[in-house]
Structure 1
């Protein structure tokens, strides 16, 4: 607005001053263009120098310094056109042309130099130094011009532009073109928008000098258009610096804030809204719900830790993405899906008619996962369990509803069911579970664990050929804690690794003591957990323990489950290293997993142990009998030993003998007993 007001005043004044001179209107435009150039140059300086001064870069700083210098010389050039004496010197039109050449040449050469430098951030000290240099250049440049301007060759002869002026115009054009080519070459991989604006400014500057070069005197339209084109170049520089100093930092700040806001309320892996957003949305629903029932459902991926450990974190992440996507694609219009982190998801079910409607909706969503997920062209069957809490009966705050739904899903998982609706008694169970986990952490230090041994009997000869070491926990207050209760807790908390190593060391030491006592050497079977099995240095660790104890590896058998072979390459590599130690390998609970016969035939294993669930009903269920018979037959063909677990009576024993099972284990022979009882019952005979 200031420039427009100034322009209006100047037009009125010059209309009177040069009303009788035909060239007056040209001169008026040149004066106005000069003042505009001064204003724009100073604006470029101000934007680049003053704004966002904590984020100074070399391009910004040097461009600002350049245009401060140009503002001074453009000011002198404009004053020269008006014929106003400065410092006792009266400058003429020829001096004005020299000042214009100096300004345009410095602009072209400065932009060429600046934008061929690598743009890096600079300090405040660097800014002060640049200001001192710029001030010195301006002062000495102005003094030099006033001292020697009369010695400069003429650029006009008898009112006409001579060859020297045109030659200098040509040099400036060449510098502009070199600058354009150089900037385009340096920025060919990543051309920032501000760089493209600088290129356009150089194009208009070159165009302006070209038009001036074609004119024979300053009162021709070519020269006037050239002056205006130079003004456009200055405007583009102003626009470029504005974008560089204000718009780009502002947009970058907006982008960063938007990204931070997104990350604060979304899960980075699945792209779904996260628990924080879930809390906000539930709070909003509660506020506007009145007496309307709103369900909060938490889903948990069953056995995800095993899947993640077996297939690797990349495949585990992909499974979570697929689960989240499948839930999202099958929600209704008012339902919302959230990621709770790890292997949990949540859905808000608004406007429920009752709890049963919510349960039916959950069962429908769970059925979606009867279809396998596909990862790298392989099908994987996964299942989910769910827990639901309903507003207002199960809680009146978002935090309560989420906590109660989470409690319900863990209750469902513990009891092996698909879905549970929260009831208050579940909280007691959850608190009990937490206390048990805390006690579990202290139990190793307090030596509350001990081992019992169950004999492995050769079915034909009835000889004891081995024993299985089974972990037990005697809690100082609770008494005996079932392995089915504390083993899953140890798996989830990671305590299973040191606990498993304690079992291995203790069982091997006991076996070595019995051998040193002169008893017949037999093999001890030790279960490996998933976390243990996936340890990269497992074989080396076991080898070190056996060497320390002095136990021959042939008297140790390691039991794994089928689920541990989910990732075939990793499992095969681990099994090969374990076999190189000289230990035996068996697959425990065989028939309950997803073993592929193609892989089974190549596995470096020695034994299959038929799960007790098949043996238990073998005399009353034809399917179980067929399964046991098939496993035994397959083991013989694969030249593997086969052991039946859970043998409890004579009829089962007779059937297993008919199927040519090698060994049996179960209460028919003996329950798990203490080392002292095992020694008296089976080793002294």
Structure 2
């Protein structure tokens, strides 16, 4: 497209030329008498003829050009412009043929007819241009161009009839020996006045089409210059007459350029620009088709085409490294795609900084990277490279106000040892990558035994995507017994999965998959909503108020709108916040700043906060004073050996003592034997849960057996108390 600044650059240069022309005209007007008859009086008819021929050619060219393009534009304005210049062309021909000194044309040539033809042409140009300016542009039918282009013939015939009448109808405009009459000058200045009006209208629209408007302005200015010269010249031999014709020719040239530019040059430039844009778009589309949008790294299509060309050139050992980003799905699900994309970009940059230039680094499906190494001397080389890549990730990624950490799981497949086919090499490397997270080094070479296990895991992950929609997930609730009152005042909500083909899937199997894939976010929200609604159903069924404990995942805790989500869940279920307990694990407390902020906001809602599996993590205990925690849950691994293992017994005693001093409640999990319960009762533990009282049950079972569970719990507690008396 014609550039805005290019148009104004053209205008600036044109203004300089116009100013020079005006200075030249002023000089001619003041000192032109010195050049009177400078070309020789016998040559002026020939010179005039040449000038008029040029003018006729230009005006006829405008008319023909407009006629030729009219089938493609069908603009009423365009056709009127063409008809106007066809008329002016005819009038200029008549003016030329009737000019004094030319051969006989209808009658003896005199200044009378020639001057009137000239004045009619000037008035027609000014009035016609002004009229066309005010006509509203619209599309017309092609047949109308024949009618519009017939008008010039009617006008020129009318002019001939009037000017060649036997008795002159119009007064003379030129008197030989005296020069122009007052009437001629008046008509000439009328044309000038109309041109000034046109100039004013053009200036108002200059910004819309700078180059076209400037050319039209230049034409009007040149016409005014020619009119000025034609009003002050003495006779046809005066240099002012010749210069006036020069400016008249220049005016028509500018008009021709304006029409040519608007109808041919500008559309052609637009076409070229469009072609260039399309070419750039094709290049961009080609680049996008072979590169990842986030990292600008080659994508899977690029990698596959490279492998097909390069893999079989030689039988030398080659390698595919599949690099998985730990916790990426959880970050994307909790913080959003913006954070995840920024982290991917930073990881890609660190990988490029480590990898040699000859290695091909690709980004596949926005989830993992692939490195293709076309020559491998030994596997130790690959192990060292993998360790260097992992080391590059040790420093935290600072993304806005979050300091995010991630590790790399790297799977390696070798050509031709593992496979000769490019698709299998990539797939085997991915299998090894998934298994790498189970190893301490997080680096794994592909082995044939990996395929079956990984395939099953990937299929399970795929099924988990549909489990929520297909209502395959459900909740069970394990009662928690208050040892001070002997009543069941709370339950823990536990998610279960009944696969339609594989049956019951252990939470220990599908929860890690959900966390890695990011599905833990929607599953966690569903658990919250379902558990809160169930508490209200129990209340409606006549059960006393029951607090429900729900586990939060790390991904949920990093959701920016988690507090709002929980508030909305409570509001929708019409459940008082004190009947909801949110459980976190010690491993979540590493990011102290973020956790402190989010937990205080959750606490402000009125819910209680518990630390699950307390004692199994590796965090500093300082979080106990920083976090608004209400409860500690002793992990079942300590409780189960409380009678046989003195270390576990000491740990339980320490947790109970610490909780008492910090004014925290304690829940002991995994109570299966009377001896375990007896010890906890004696140690003044607050609450217990375990198979001794009840395994996790469906909400309906809990509702129907609530009183029975109470009675059984009371019997067990009474027996313990009786045994100590």
Shared fold per TM-score greater than 0.5: yes
CA contact (8 A) 1:279 1:398 kept: no
Q: How does 1:172-571 map to 2 (within 5 A)?
A: 172-184=194-206, 187=208, 195-216=209-230, 219-256=241-278, 258-259=280-281, 261-263=283-285, 265-266=287-288, 269-270=293-294, 272=296, 275=299, 278-279=302-303, 282-283=306-307, 286=310, 290-291=314-315, 295-327=319-351, 332-335=356-359, 337-349=361-373, 351-354=375-378, 356-389=380-413, 399-412=423-436, 418-437=442-461, 456=480, 466-473=490-497, 481-489=505-513, 529-533=520-524, 544-549=533-538, 550=540, 554-567=546-559, 570-571=561-562
Give the equivalent residue in structure 2 for 1:615.
616
Cα RMSD, aligned residues only: 4.7
Answer yes or no: is 1:640 the counterpart of 2:659. no
Distance 1:457 1:137 in 2: 101
Change in 2 beyond 3 A, CA 1:607/1:428 = same
State how far apart, in whole Å, the 1-side matches of 2:77 and 2:340 are. 52
> What 5-or-longer segments of structure 2 have no aligned partner?
1-39, 100-104, 108-112, 164-169, 660-665, 674-689, 716-725
Q: CA deviation at 1:227?
A: 1.2
Q: Distance in 1 between matches of 2:98 and 2:363?
A: 74
Q: Which residue of 2 aligns with 1:15?
A: none
Report the number of matched residues: 591
Deviation for aligned residue 1:342: 3.7
- Provide the TM-score with structure 1 as the length reference: 0.70
Measured against aligned partners, the alpha-carbon deviations of 1:47-69 in whole angstroms (never above 9, x if no partner) come to: 5753xxxxx6xxx9456435533
Which of the two has higher C-alpha Rg? 2
Mapped partners of 2:449, 2:283: distance in 1: 38
Gap change, CA 1:250 and 1:492, over 3 Å in 2: farther
Which SS does the other structure have where 1:370 is aligned?
A: coil
Equivalent of 1:598, from 596, 600, 603?
Answer: 596
Query: Secondary structure of 1:666's match?
Result: coil
Q: 2:193 matched to which residue of 1? A: 171
2:330–2:516 contact (8 Å) kept in structure 1: no
Cα displacement (A) at 1:585: 2.0
1:588 aligns with 2:584: yes
| SS of corresponding position for 1:131 | coil
1:572 aligned partner = 563
Shift of residue 231, structure 1, vs aligned partner = 0.6
Say yes or no: does 1:28 pair with 2:20. Answer: no
SS of alignment partner, residue 205 of structure 1 = helix
Q: How many Å apart are 1:163 and its aligned residue? A: 1.4
Asked if the contact 1:265/1:273 (under 8 Å) is kept, the reply is: no
Per-residue CA deviations over 1:479-511 (Å, capped at 9, x if unaligned) read 6533233335556788x6xxxxxxxxxxxxxxx
For 2:296, what is the secondary structure of its paired residue?
A: coil
- Structure 1 residues 683 and 32: alpha-carbon distance in aligned structure 2, compared to 1, 3 A threshold: farther
**Aligned equivalent of 2:654:** 658
Would the alpha carbon gap of residues 75 and 560 (structure 1) be closer, same or farther in structure 2, given more than 3 Å must change?
same
Over 3 Å counting, the alpha-carbon distance change for 1:100 and 1:389 in structure 2 is farther
Is the alpha carbon distance of 1:607 and 1:548 closer, same or farther for their aligned partners in structure 2, counting shifts above 3 Å? closer
Deviation at 1:224? Answer: 0.6
Give the Cα separation in 1 of the matches to 2:120 and 2:473. 97
Who is 2:93 aligned against? 79
User: For 2:94 and 2:316, how far apart are their aligned partners in 1?
Assistant: 82
Instruction: Indicate if the aligned counterparts of 1:295 and 1:389 stay in contact, CA closer than 8 A.
Output: yes
Distance in 2 between the 1:559 and 1:374 partners? 28
CA distance in 2, matches of 1:329, 1:94: 85
Native 8 Å contact 2:410 2:442 kept in 1: yes
Contact 1:450 1:473 in 2 (8 A): yes
1:610/1:645 contact within 8 Å kept: yes
Residues 229, 475 of structure 1: CA spacing in aligned structure 2 closer, same or farther, 3 A cutoff?
closer
Report the Cα offset of residue 381 of structure 1.
2.6
Q: How far is the alpha carbon of 1:255 from its aligned partner?
A: 1.8
Deviation per CA, 1:381-420: give whole Å up to 9, x if none.
3444444555555566665555444444444457686444
Could you tell me the TM-score, scaled by structure 2's length?
Answer: 0.67
How far apart are residue 215 of structure 1 and its match? 1.7
Q: Partners of 1:66 and 1:392 in 2: how far apart?
A: 78
Q: Secondary structure at the match of 2:610?
A: strand
C-alpha separation in 2, matches of 1:476 and 1:534: 23
1:155 and 1:350 map into 2 onto residues whose CA distance is 97
State the distance in 2 between where 1:326 and 1:46 align: 63
Residue deviations 1:559-584 (CA, integer Å, cap 9, x gap)? 2134422245x223334455662222
- In structure 2, the CA distance between the partners of 1:455 and 1:140, relative to structure 1 (3 Å rule), is same
Query: Which ranges of structure 1 fall in alignment gaps of 5 or more residues?
Result: 1-17, 51-55, 118-125, 188-194, 497-528, 617-623
For residues 237 and 416 of structure 1, the distance between their equivalents in structure 2, rounded to whole angstroms, comes to 78
Deviation at 1:302, TM superposition (A): 2.7
Q: Does 2:174 match 1:157?
A: yes
Q: CA deviation at 1:204?
A: 2.1
Counterparts of 1:423 and 1:111, CA distance in 2: 82
